Structure 1
Amino acid sequence: MEPGYRSARIEEIDIIKALGILCVAAGHAAAPFARFLYLFHMAVFFIASGFCFKSRSASSLRNLLLTIVKKLRQIWLPFFIWNSIFALLNNFFIRINVYTDQAALEEYVQGKYIHPHKFMTAAAIWKVIKRGFFFREGTQIGGAFWFLRTLFMVQILYYVVEFLLQKTVKAHTDLAQAAVSAILLGVGYYCSLQRLYVNGFGKTASFYCLFYLGHVLAGHKSRLARLSWKHFLPAGGISFLCLVFLWTKGAISFAQLRYVNPGFMLISSLCGWVMLYSAAYFLRQVVSVKQLLLEIGKRTISVVLFHFLAFKLVAAVVVLYYGLPAFCIAAFPTLYGEKGLWWLAYTVAGTGVPIAADIFYHRLLDRWKALLPKPHDA
């Protein structure tokens, strides 16, 4: 889910990311098949990130440092900026019912995340901002920000390990990375069983192997490029059926670091990847659909940042439709998302509004840049 519009992009990866973020929004919107989506919807982003990994980024200390700076700009900076803004807006959010201090909310809506918010002092807000600088605290409206922290930590750890391996084992880095992945997965699973989060290390250890899986799959790009619908149709179908079967056997929550066992997580993740990769092949054949998905795929970080906030627009409509008190808008993540087709409205708003805002922002930015004097005009 990394921003960036100038680097070379891989079409099928952008399409997979688009499909993945639609799955994320639908899952958070309480779609009736949310548990099915949770089997793989976050995993595909770690795999996609590994698929785009380049060994030369860790080939020297200079390249490693440049890569770390790049990741800070792409992932940490948006996290810190928007976590800080959402913290600063806490009291304003209460006044406009994005949050609420009304305990009566629990009389209308029940759920794990349904609780009143408190007005925060300047000192409390500053504490959230300071902790956010180190990826240590977030806000409810930025509830998906945990993913940015985990992705950042997985990437940085992988690049550092790759740098060290290139300087030691050299020709056998892939095998060494496999060993590191296996060890970390064991550690991550132990953290999952013991509910040890350790500032996100449990997630980093668990999902490191998914980044490695993407790296391995990228080594077969040329073979994948030669495949046709005769391969992708059965592959996608079988993967879907496998996921349906796994859906009946267990559940996964990447955010809460809960999965049946390492094998269950890996198989679910790989099946989800194959299913979406196969779907991407067919969707690329329809030009209009392809272009739409490419636009979404380039802007998935905006959806991560703002989809919960965009959900509030639908919640306001739900309040008007059912004649509920205005403070019910504060229900999190959705208000009545499980009723009827409201989940679909939440999904559309949760993806469409952030992407439209992103496009609008970049068009304004481009126009502003066009108005600036060129160096040769000075």
Structure 2
Amino acid sequence: MIEQNPIMPDRRYWNVLKGIGILCVVLGHACSWAHDFVYEFHIPLFFFISGFMYSEKKYGDDPYLNVINRFKSSWIKYVIVYWIIMLLHNSLIRWGFMPIGTEYFSLRTLAEACAFVLLGTANELMGGTLWFVPALCMASVFLSFLVTISRKIEKKTGNSYLKFAFQFVVILVCSIVGCIVISILMPANIQVSLTVMPFLWIGYLLRNYGKGLEQYLSVCAAAILALAVYFISFHHSLDLIIGILYPGMYLVAFSGIYVCMALAKYISRLNRIGSLIASCGKASFWIMAVHFPLIKIIDRIWAAHIGDPDRVLYLTLPHSFDYMWPVYLLLGIGVPLLGYQLVQKIKNRGKCS
């Protein structure tokens, strides 16, 4: 454990794992019967993956490089997408896609809302699922500086054990503080970032110091843990953004992460299905950003189709019609995925030319 043996991640496997994660996100928003189950682990899974993807070799002595890369890859997209949503705010009210009583933006309130986006504290209905991005960025920043400081302690003392002891204590404190302040809305959802630090840390440890991880991913163990998580979800709920926690949530979330990892192990070996799920993983940001507005558009269209155009759709979030879940799932994943692949093809043709 003390001697570092960095494991280069298998990109296909981790894209498949991200694909499973984003499928769970859409499933949780599209299907009432799956909501409580996937909420036990689907967001912790993304933080775990982020921790695994953190490269100590690349960023260990330069945490600012990780900050820059993280903000380039995630924060900028988050801001641009959210600003577009803000610009559409008044039109969405006129088209009947916002809750009754929602106020129109003036130029001043629009500017204020756009400023809140920069701080990671935007709160617009159609962009609700993007709360996760600022929290992920901040958690990655915390991990980066933690690793850098712990490396300095190791170099100064010559004791590798102190490096991990320091990391463990800081992660423990972060999780305790996060659980205490989880119901307090902070800039960039820092309260969530603190709470989820154990997921990033374990991912980081597995990336840099784990060996033979694949051999421990058992189908039988995954099936048992999946059933355990399923039955626990009847009695306990986990929803980080609204501050719903419970004792034992970390153990349950890690159990769900193990299930997803074991599932990804076998899916990644399948040619067509594996490639499809991996593509979802690559497009996970866009699926996260687009699927919820798509679900609400489907709701509005279907309400008009059944002769109830004035239905108060937003009294039931995230969707209004339980029996429409296959449509939510298909379009919520398929539309952004096709859009992402189309953009990638255009980019590749541009590079070739």
TM-score exceeds 0.5? yes
DSSP-derived class of the 2:128 partner:
coil
Give yes or no for contact 1:319–1:328 (8 Å, CA) kept in 2: no
Partner of 1:126: 111
Greater CA drift, 214-223 or 71-80: 214-223
Q: Deviations over 1:207-247 (max 9, x none)?
A: 111101211233465412345xxx51112112112202322
Structure 1 258/140 Cα, relative in aligned 2: closer, same or farther at 3 Å? Answer: same
Structure 1 365/328 Cα, relative in aligned 2: closer, same or farther at 3 Å? Answer: farther
- The separation in 1 between residues aligned to 2:224 and 2:174, in whole angstroms, is 29
Equivalent residue in structure 2 for 1:186, among 161, 168, 176: 176
Partner of 2:348: 366
DSSP-derived class of the 1:169 partner:
helix
- The separation in 2 between residues aligned to 1:219 and 1:68, in whole angstroms, is 19
Partner of 1:107: none
* Matched ranges for 1:31-110 at <5 A: 31-60=32-61, 63-99=62-98, 103=100
Partner of 1:256: 242
Kindly state the Cα deviation for residue 10 of structure 1 after the two structures are TM-superposed: 2.4
Structure 2: 5+ residue stretches without partners = 1-7
Equivalent residue in structure 2 for 1:291, among 245, 251, 275: 275
CA-atom RMSD in angstroms: 2.2
DSSP-derived class of the 2:235 partner:
coil
DSSP-derived class of the 1:146 partner:
helix
Structure 1 151/12 Cα, relative in aligned 2: closer, same or farther at 3 Å? Answer: same
Q: Which amino acid aligns with 1:238?
A: I
Partner of 1:346: 328
Structure 1 219/56 Cα, relative in aligned 2: closer, same or farther at 3 Å? Answer: closer
* Matched ranges for 1:229-268 at <5 A: 232-261=218-247, 264-268=248-252
- The separation in 2 between residues aligned to 1:97 and 1:324, in whole angstroms, is 12
DSSP-derived class of the 2:242 partner:
coil
Q: Which amino acid aligns with 2:186?
A: V
* Matched ranges for 1:154-169 at <5 A: 154-169=139-154
Kindly state the Cα deviation for residue 335 of structure 1 after the two structures are TM-superposed: 4.2
Kindly state the Cα deviation for residue 58 of structure 1 after the two structures are TM-superposed: 3.1
Equivalent residue in structure 2 for 1:275, among 259, 280, 284: 259
- The separation in 2 between residues aligned to 1:98 and 1:149, in whole angstroms, is 25
- The separation in 2 between residues aligned to 1:334 and 1:253, in whole angstroms, is 14
Structure 1: 5+ residue stretches without partners = 1-6, 104-115, 372-378
Q: Which amino acid aligns with 2:171?
A: S
DSSP-derived class of the 2:212 partner:
helix
- The separation in 2 between residues aligned to 1:265 and 1:209, in whole angstroms, is 12
Using the size of structure 1 for normalisation, the TM-score is: 0.83
Partner of 1:106: none
Give yes or no for contact 2:18–2:46 (8 Å, CA) kept in 1: yes
- The separation in 1 between residues aligned to 2:244 and 2:290, in whole angstroms, is 25
Kindly state the Cα deviation for residue 321 of structure 1 after the two structures are TM-superposed: 3.8
- The separation in 2 between residues aligned to 1:160 and 1:16, in whole angstroms, is 26
Q: Deviations over 1:4-47 (max 9, x none)?
A: xxx97522221121111111111122431211111111111011
Kindly state the Cα deviation for residue 125 of structure 1 after the two structures are TM-superposed: 0.6
Partner of 2:130: 145
DSSP-derived class of the 1:187 partner:
helix
* Matched ranges for 1:18-37 at <5 A: 18-37=19-38
Give yes or no for contact 1:232–1:281 (8 Å, CA) kept in 2: no
Q: Deviations over 1:35-89 (max 9, x none)?
A: 11111111110111111121123332xx322221111111110111111111111
Equivalent pairs: percent with the same residue? 19
Give yes or no for contact 2:97–2:300 (8 Å, CA) kept in 1: no
Partner of 2:5: none
Kindly state the Cα deviation for residue 174 of structure 1 after the two structures are TM-superposed: 2.8
- Is 1:207 paired with 2:196? yes
- The separation in 2 between residues aligned to 1:301 and 1:292, in whole angstroms, is 16
Equivalent residue in structure 1 for 2:185, among 181, 197, 200: 197
- The separation in 2 between residues aligned to 1:225 and 1:35, in whole angstroms, is 28
- The separation in 2 between residues aligned to 1:168 and 1:360, in whole angstroms, is 48
Kindly state the Cα deviation for residue 270 of structure 1 after the two structures are TM-superposed: 0.8
Q: Deviations over 1:297-333 (max 9, x none)?
A: 1110111211112213422442244211166566664
Q: Deviations over 1:164-215 (max 9, x none)?
A: 12112342433321211111111111113xx323332221110111101211
Structure 1 36/225 Cα, relative in aligned 2: closer, same or farther at 3 Å? Answer: closer
Q: Deviations over 1:103-143 (max 9, x none)?
A: 4xxxxxxxxxxxx3222111111111112112122321110
- The separation in 2 between residues aligned to 1:152 and 1:285, in whole angstroms, is 31
Q: Which amino acid aligns with 1:213?
A: I
Greater CA drift, 79-88 or 231-240: 231-240
Give yes or no for contact 2:39–2:238 (8 Å, CA) kept in 1: yes
